[in-house]
Structures are given as structure tokens and as C-alpha cells.
Structure 1
Amino acid sequence: MTDTSLEIVHSSEPILTLMNENFDFENSSLLKAVLTVESEITGLNISKFEDSLRLQQLVISSKLANFDHANKEKLLALLDILYQQQGYEGDWKAFFKVKNALISRVFARRKGIPISLGILLLDFLQLCDFDVQGICFPSGFLIHITLEDEVVYLDPFTGELASWELLELRVRGQLGNHAKLTLDMVKPDSHETIVKRFLNVLKAAYIQAENIEVALLCSDILLRLDPDDAYEVRDRGFLFQQLDCLSLARDDFEFFMKQHPKDPIVHILQKQIEEMNFDNQVMH
């Protein structure tokens, strides 16, 4: 497959580590990985953000200084600090907005969506010595917490611990009444998988905001992580099409059709190509 990666440099910012298939997820925190993505997309100064974050970490640590162990009592105290005292909350009114996905904006506003709140919360929990992992759950991001004598699941959107019965109801609401909650659904995910989920959410938010150029950058980063993801190539083709980059869109559609010739969407892509007016396309 031909590499059509976008080359974007923020001239006012130092050159930062880019997210790609060689990124060291194993030795990088999830938060640092996501901030690496955000720095490329928005020009975020990671060092300045981390300075602000450390101030809040100090506040949290001081308030929990009396707890010797990372037990359920300490967990509930931490959640009270974050969700009651500091006002973190899920933003029900503007769920699919860019400001609810970008970590820096969520940190500043104390509002966000499950995955953005969850990534921040994972960092706070790890600071307080909890054994935690993220889960790309069907109905929204969850946090897996291993306590002394039990495993609990935290919903970062509400700041509440979710029972197995509640999770099963959410699965049915997302996947249909006949869906069943399985252990695989609550299996922790790797940092790379979570970063990909974050990028897809961010891409969707930029598409809704009609900022197709930045949505295309999100797609480009996803393809750096997995260059042969034919479905992401197809989606990038739709973004190229919206930008009237029709030759690039055609190339992406044809790549997908070659990889998945029996996919139901193939006939739609063929029709899209037939209807393209290459005389009026944006040239690259």
C-alpha cells in the first residue's frame, strides 16, 4: 500500500515524538501516549500540561495521606475528591463535542466523555497505588480495579462502581436485548487498543464539528499504528472525498475493495467512484 501519510509540523512547537507502529507502548503510560497524540493534533505543550497535572496530584495525595493501603475505603474517598469536591462529571448535554474528548480540555473543564475521563482517572488511581486497567467496553470505557479481595468496575462517566447486573443492562442497550455480558467484554485492553479507541472517538468528534482536515489527521495516525487496516483506509477515503481529494479517495476505496471484495459496502464504493468528477477535484 502506498504511504500517503500527512506531514504536519507545528512550526511554533518543538518536534515531538510521533505516534506510529514503533511507539513504545510498553514503557509509556497511557496518559503520556494519549498526550503524544493530542500534541500532534492541537500543538499541546505536554510539559506545561504535566506541570498543571502534578499540582492536582499533590492535592489528591495530601488528602489521602491517612490511608495506608489501596483498599475500597481509599477508592471511595478518591472518587469523592474527584467527583464531589473537584466537580468531575460526564457531560450529558454535549457528549460528542471535541472539548469532551481532548484530555487537556477535559482536565480544564472537569467534564468529558467516558474514555477521556477514564484516561485521566487511570492516572490518578495509579498515583494512589491502585492496580487498574482500562476496558474498551461496548457501551463506554470502564476501569478494572483489583482490590484486596475483589475486582470492581468503575464507570468514569458517573464516578460510580458498576454492578455486573448494570453492565449487562448496558450491553443489552448497546447490542440488543439478546446480548449477554461475557468475561471477554470486561477483559482489560492494552494501551495501544485504548489509544486507537481514543483516536476513533476524537475523529468522530471532529467529523461532527465539520473539521474534516483534523479528522483526516486522526485517521492518518490510526494508519500509522496499523498501516494495513483496510477499514480505516476505507474511512479515510470518505474523508478525502469530502475534501474533494478524489484521486486519493478512489485509491483508498480500491484498496479496501481489493482486500474485502465480498463486503456489502463494495457496491456502494464502486458507485461512489463512478460518480466522482475528477475535473473538479482538489489536486495534491
Structure 2
Amino acid sequence: MSAEVDIDGLRKNIGTKIVEEDEATRAPLFGLVAAFDRDEAVPTKGEAIPPGWHLVYFHSFGRKATLGDDGLPTSGGVVPKVPFPRRMYAGTSLAFHHPLLVGDALKRETELTDLTLRSGSTGPLLFVTQTRRIFSPRGLAIVEESYTVFRDAVKPGELSGIPKRSIPPAGLPWARQIDPDPVSLFRYSAVTFNPHRIHYDRSYAMDSEGYPGLVVHGPYSQQCLIDLARDNNTTRAIASFTQRARAPLFDTGPFEVMGRPVDGGAGAELWATTPAGTVAMEVKLRFR
């Protein structure tokens, strides 16, 4: 494994940073409300933007020549060129210091903070961590650690391995069914400018990557879980949110999001489960 991947050379890129600017405009927030079919008013100028909705800003606008077969840019960010063609969401950690407001001028610093080679059941896996710090006129607003895993291509005729995990606790007080239909997934791809073909190109997802259908975006399930928590605790703001991906979700059937308050309501535990009832995402959350 180490002979095929120059991990030491790749790790020399740790610490690479880029700085970008954007504006917290209102228009894409309408797209999020539509994509998730939320019965929720879109905030107006000067009002707070709900947690997690920052993903409609700071898009990657790589030119066509820079895109890989999967539709994602292969250059222009802080991640160096890696020898694995497939990439998947592995999780995220979010710290919300204060809300963004519609109309804010935004700055984001993105730093490559870790890069690790591991061995999995399907072969070598490259885990990459990017730390993003978003600033508003009031200072540091959001710190986001994003975890991505890169892996080898699926051999012709093979299916992508789908891990089976444990089941969540029974009798959870918060629960909601999500139907990840192709239109909702496409809308989310559009409003976040995510060109990853596994989320909207069924033939590519199934024939090239070996999945049983369209893959639900990790941040899509992430937002469903954030919204479940804030819909069930309307008096306290979310301070932090940490999600780990355990198995992918697909548009081939509805999935469940569920959870419960912990520590006397100071936090929450949340899960997203596959149609078979096994854990796909697990979350630890703290309220302010």
C-alpha cells in the first residue's frame, strides 16, 4: 500500500490554505427551503440564517477542464492530486459561534489539516480533513471540519461495498421519514453547486461506481438531522454538531432521522437509518 501511495509526499501539503470571499445573499435560501420542502419563512435582510445553510455559499467554480470523471474539480482547492478516483463524504464537525445574517460580507479560510492512509476491506483509503473558518463582520462565525475519503475505482461488474452497521436505540422521541426523491437531490445539488455525479446521474452512479441508485449527499442528511434537532428544541440555538458517516443512503427508499435530548436538554443524540433500519449517520449535538 505505501509503495503505491507517496503518503509522506502528500502530507507535505498539510497546512495549505486558501482565502475566499462571498456575500450571504437571500436568493439561494429559497432553494434550500424548496429542496427540503420546509414550512419555513426565508430570512430577510439582516435576519439570521439557520444553522447548516452556509453550504449555499463559497461554491467551487472550477472550469470544465479541471473536472474529473465524477464531475468534481481535481484542482483549485487545498487538497493535492491523489491517486484514487472515487471520493465520499465521511462526516463533519461544525461549531456555530454566532449566526450569519442575510446581507453579511463573508470570508472563508480553508486549510488542509490532515491526510491519512488506511487499509479497508475494499483496499487502501485516503482520509482527508479540511478545516474551514467562516467570518462575518462580527468575527468568527462557523468552524467546519470536513472529512472526505478517497478510494480506488470499482472493478467492472462489481458492486460498491455497503457496510452493515448497528441499529439505533428504540423508542426515540424525535423521528421523521425522509423521501430522497431524485428531484430533491437534484435541487440540493443545484443550490449547493455540487457537481458530483453520484447524486444526479443514475447511470454513472450505478455503472461506474457500483451503487444501487443515486447517493444521498452527506450534507443533505446532515441538514435533515440539524433541522430535526432545531424543530424539537425551538428555544436553544445549536452550538456544535458532529456527524460520522457509517453507510451511504440512496434514493431507492425512504430513510429515517431520529434522536433524543441528552444531558437534561443541553445536547442531543441523532441518527439517520437506512430502509433496513441500520445506522447510516450518527450525530452528537450541543445546544447553547
Please indicate the TM-score interval, normalised by the length of the shorter structure. Answer: under 0.3
Whose helix fraction is larger, Structure 1's or Structure 2's? 1
Normalising by structure 1, we get a TM-score of: 0.26
Q: Which has the higher contact order (CA 8 A, sep 6+)?
A: 2
Bigger-Rg structure (1/2):
1
Whose strand fraction is larger, Structure 1's or Structure 2's? 2
Normalising by structure 2, we get a TM-score of: 0.26
